[in-house]
């Protein structure tokens, strides 16, 4: 008598197994908006017969808050270098050992022993860039490689400077210009930083994630800018140059990591390995317009990026750049208060 | 107790019960979507802040509320009023007040103009007023940006016509913010005033004129007092959202000076201080409540003077 009952149960199990086999062909990516090359995803889907779903986030803080709350089915997340240690410390990331993957040999040795993930046990570079200054050389004939462009704008630029409203970047550049270390809590340095920012602010016209047209259209003549954004401006209006502040400037890198809660770990690992292939890494760069950290990807990059000074740091400025860490909570509080006071 | 009384009481009890049942869906919505989120904010404002955003659950702390109003000196140990927060709050209140006044000055004549059109034309004018609502606020703000910019539509036309030589500086100035805010909130002022003026019996105005009141007196002593509740309602409708305005000042003013809305965002984002953000939000709610209280007071005074 049991057999007729068992039979449908078994077939039910078979269906379940079938559907879970189907579910294995999925990958859910949680990445910054407008950052994931559709061609790359198409190629990945076709190569591994996996269906990829992309969800956007707009800041490291939102991404972290969302991941912490749980209840998601994300496999891949792309935090910035500053936040990777936080993600690791909170136990959100899987130690997927990219350093043991097949394509790891392609990673630029410069990005292997990074402070936020030494030896790359968790993460693979997605895109990296620098924070520096941009300036219109028609108006300003001096040296562009200095943060005085926005911290103490020369008369010809006063009232035409735009500063990206990112506390971390602005503070990092201002602190280095005052001779301090990243995340310093040295009140003497911070006092000078505060004074400097208060004095500089009247010479800024806006604090805006500037669109290209604002620069090319003449609303802004200089500013604190990210390298990729500066390159897009220059491609439209060649009178603009990107400067690497000689006082020191931050490097950032967004990194592909796998969540501990990932439902599709194997596919996620395939993806990490996949993007360490130079041709695939170049696809990311061609879309997001930043460098990628994979050796040999240059030859697959679009013409206008191969020799772009915004992407290939000139040798004399390489050692001025450093990864900024996420500052400890009490230091961040201090910076928020300085920041609020400057913008009050 | 007589039976009739018992029956009457039972009926009353039943009708109360039915009323509760019938209003249950509405109450559930209010509770789920208004009271519950607010309660979460209240709770968060009393918890200790997490190290990288979020809060430490069930660790009671008054730090959030303390730093709304007070601060330890940045470069010494003195405790004083949180000056930065006060000046940001004041900027937001000032912006909301000016926006209210400007929209009232433009909105009242507009509503009046529509109300004295022949009835067949009024719908057309109202339609024009509501058109901007069809488009998302963010997109409208970007559109105004294109008008105000140094090389924007307005300056191009004015310079082409020879009226000005240098482009007018509107973008990234306070003037730009006020113009943008007035544009965005104008319909909220026009619509309630129009609704009241439409019902206004213009024979009152005629009667006043017959009694030798000049136009000014007709306006100030007849029309405005009789439409006062609508004017106050319009002011409240503009003032409250303008107080929390976020996108418009940021895009048109350049975002160099924080508004209350931006300050709250900072705490939930880069500042990683959620309890402070929650306490600031509740402070904003408090200011709005205060404004509403003023409205209720003014409205009830209105009722008395008519009664």
Q: What is the 3-state secondary structure (H, E, C) of B280-294?
A: HHHHHHHHHHHHHHH
- Partners of residue B75 in chain A, C-beta under 8 Å: 187, 190-191, 194
**Mean pLDDT computed over B41-70:** 89
**Is the domain of A327 the same as that of A213?**
yes
Q: What is the pLDDT of residue B134?
A: 87
**Is the domain of B224 the same as that of B103?**
yes
User: Is B52's CB within 8 Å of A219's CB?
Assistant: no
Q: Which residue of chain B comes nearest to A334, CA vs CA?
A: B74
**Is the domain of A143 the same as that of A120?**
no
**Is the domain of A92 the same as that of A224?**
no
**Is the domain of A62 the same as that of A90?**
yes
pLDDT tens, position by position, A161-201? 999 998 999 999 999 999 999 999 999 999 999 999 999 99
**Is the domain of B20 the same as that of B113?**
no
SS3 of residue A24 by DSSP:
coil
For residue B65, being part of any structural domain is answered with no
**Is the domain of A274 the same as that of A147?**
no
Q: What is the pLDDT of residue B294?
A: 83
Instruction: Give which of A306, A299, A290 is closest to A125, Cα–Cα.
Output: A290
**Is the domain of A232 the same as that of A138?**
yes
Domain membership of residue B239 as a residue range = 82-306
Query: What is the pLDDT confidence band of residue B295, given thresholds at 50, 70 and 90?
Result: confident
Instruction: Give which of B96, B129, B10, B103 is closest to B288, Cα–Cα.
Output: B96
User: Is B267's CB within 8 Å of A336's CB?
Assistant: yes
- A333 and chain B in contact, CB less than 8 A: yes
Mean per-residue pLDDT of chain A? 90
**Is the domain of A123 the same as that of A54?**
yes
Asked if the model's pLDDT at residue A16 lies above 60, the reply is no
Task: Cite the beta strand spans of chain A per DSSP E.
Answer: 26-32, 51-57, 76-77, 113-114, 117-118, 124-136, 161-163, 204-206, 222-226, 240-243, 249-258, 321-323
Instruction: Give which of A71, A58, A335, A49 is closest to A190, Cα–Cα.
Output: A335
Q: What is the pLDDT of residue B304?
A: 53
Structural domains counted in chain A: 2
Asked if the model's pLDDT at residue A78 lies above 70, the reply is yes
SS3 of residue B117 by DSSP:
coil
Asked if the model's pLDDT at residue A327 lies above 70, the reply is yes
Q: What is the pLDDT of residue B170?
A: 87
Q: What is the pLDDT of residue A8?
A: 42
Asked if the model's pLDDT at residue B128 lies above 50, the reply is yes
pLDDT tens, position by position, A107-152? 999 999 999 999 999 999 999 999 999 999 999 999 999 999 999 9
pLDDT tens, position by position, B92-122? 999 999 999 999 999 999 999 999 999 999 9
**Is the domain of B38 the same as that of B154?**
no
**Is the domain of B139 the same as that of B197?**
yes
* Euclidean distance between CA atoms B221 and B198, whole angstroms: 18
Structural domains counted in chain B: 2
Asked if the model's pLDDT at residue A31 lies above 50, the reply is yes
**Is the domain of B38 the same as that of B87?**
no
Say what the ipTM of the complex is.
Answer: 0.82
**Is the domain of B163 the same as that of B21?**
no
**Is the domain of A56 the same as that of A159?**
no
- B122 and chain A in contact, CB less than 8 A: no
CATH number where A239 lies: 3.40.190.10
For chain A, what is the total number of helices (H) and then of strands (E)? Answer: 13, 12
CATH number where B226 lies: 1.10.3720.10
Q: What is the pLDDT of residue A70?
A: 86
**Is the domain of A80 the same as that of A45?**
yes
**Is the domain of B225 the same as that of B285?**
yes
Domain membership of residue A23 as a residue range = 2-128+253-306
**Is the domain of A28 the same as that of A150?**
no
**Is the domain of A46 the same as that of A17?**
yes
**Is the domain of A225 the same as that of A297?**
no
**Is the domain of B298 the same as that of B149?**
yes
**Is the domain of B135 the same as that of B214?**
yes
The residue of B87, B272, B276 whose CB has the most chain A CBs within 10 angstroms, and thus the best one to mutate to test that interface, is B272
Asked if the model's pLDDT at residue A23 lies above 50, the reply is no
Q: Which of residues 232-261 of B touch A (CB under 8 A)?
A: 251, 254-258
């Amino acid at each position: 008598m049991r057999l007729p009952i068992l039979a449908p149960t078994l077939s039910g199990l078979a269906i379940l197994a079938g559907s879970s086999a189907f579910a294995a062909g999925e990958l859910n990516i949680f990445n910054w908006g407008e950052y994931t090359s559709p061609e790359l995803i198409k190629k990945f889907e076709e190569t591994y017969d996996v269906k990829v779903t992309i969800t956007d986030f707009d800041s490291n803080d939102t991404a972290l808050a969302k991941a912490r709350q749980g209840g998601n089915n994300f496999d891949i997340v792309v935090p910035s270098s500053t936040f990777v240690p936080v993600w690791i410390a909170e136990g959100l990331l899987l130690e997927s050992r990219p350093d043991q993957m097949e394509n790891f040999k392609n990673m630029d040795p410069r990005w292997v022993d990074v402070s936020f993930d030494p030896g790359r046990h968790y993460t693979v570079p997605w895109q990296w860039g620098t924070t520096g200054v941009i300036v219109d050389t028609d108006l300003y004939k001096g040296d562009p490689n200095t943060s005085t462009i926005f911290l103490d704008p020369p008369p010809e630029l006063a009232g035409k400077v735009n500063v990206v409203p990112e506390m971390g970047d602005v503070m990092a550049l201002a602190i280095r210009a005052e001779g301090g270390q990243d995340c310093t809590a040295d009140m003497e340095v911070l006092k000078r930083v505060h004074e400097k920012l208060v004095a500089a602010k009247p010479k800024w016209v806006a604090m805006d994630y500037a669109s290209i047209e604002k620069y090319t259209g003449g609303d802004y003549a200089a500013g604190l800018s990210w390298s990729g954004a500066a390159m897009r401006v220059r491609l439209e209006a060649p009178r603009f140059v990107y400067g690497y502040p000689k006082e020191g400037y931050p490097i950032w890198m967004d990194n592909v990591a796998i969540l501990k809660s990932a439902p599709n770990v194997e596919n996620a690992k395939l993806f990490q390995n996949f993007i360490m292939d130079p041709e695939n890494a170049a696809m990311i760069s061609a879309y997001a317009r930043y460098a990628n950290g994979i050796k040999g990807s240059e030859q697959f990059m679009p013409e206008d990026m191969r020799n772009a000074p915004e992407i290939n740091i000139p040798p004399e400025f390489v050692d001025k750049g450093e990864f900024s860490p996420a500052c400890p909570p009490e230091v961040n509080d201090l910076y928020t208060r300085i920041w609020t006071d400057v913008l009050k | 107790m007589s039976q009739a009384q018992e029956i009457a009481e039972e009926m009353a009890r039943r009708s109360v019960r039915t009323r509760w049942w019938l209003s249950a869906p509405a109450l559930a919505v209010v509770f789920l979507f208004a009271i519950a989120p607010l309660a979460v904010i209240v709770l968060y404002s009393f918890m200790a802040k997490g190290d990288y955003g979020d809060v430490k659950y069930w660790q009671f702390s008054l730090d959030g509320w303390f730093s709304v109003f007070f601060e330890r000196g940045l470069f010494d140990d003195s405790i004083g009023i949180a000056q930065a927060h006060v000046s940001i709050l004041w900027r937001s209140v000032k912006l909301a007040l000016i926006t209210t006044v400007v929209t009232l000055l433009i909105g009242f004549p507009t509503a009046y103009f529509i109300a004295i059109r022949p009835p067949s034309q009024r719908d057309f004018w109202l339609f024009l007023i509501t058109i901007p609502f069809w488009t998302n606020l963010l997109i409208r703000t970007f559109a105004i940006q294109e008008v105000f910019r140094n090389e924007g539509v307005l300056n191009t036309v004015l310079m082409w016509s020879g009226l000005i030589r240098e482009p007018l500086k509107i973008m990234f100035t306070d003037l730009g913010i006020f113009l943008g805010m007035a544009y965005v909130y104008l319909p909220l002022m026009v619509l309630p005033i129009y609704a009241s003026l439409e019902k206004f019996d213009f024979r009152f105005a005629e009667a006043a004129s017959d009694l030798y009141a000049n136009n000014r007196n007709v306006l100030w002593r007849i029309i405005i007092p009789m439409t006062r509740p609508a004017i106050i309602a319009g002011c409240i409708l503009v003032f409250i959202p303008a107080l929390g305005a976020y996108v418009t000042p940021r895009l048109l003013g350049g975002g160099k000076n924080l508004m209350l809305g931006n300050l709250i965002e900072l705490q939930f984002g880069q500042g990683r201080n959620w309890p402070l953000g929650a306490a600031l939000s509740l402070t904003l709610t408090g200011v709005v409540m205060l404004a509403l209280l003023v409205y209720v007071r003014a409205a009830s005074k209105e009722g008395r003077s008519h009664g």
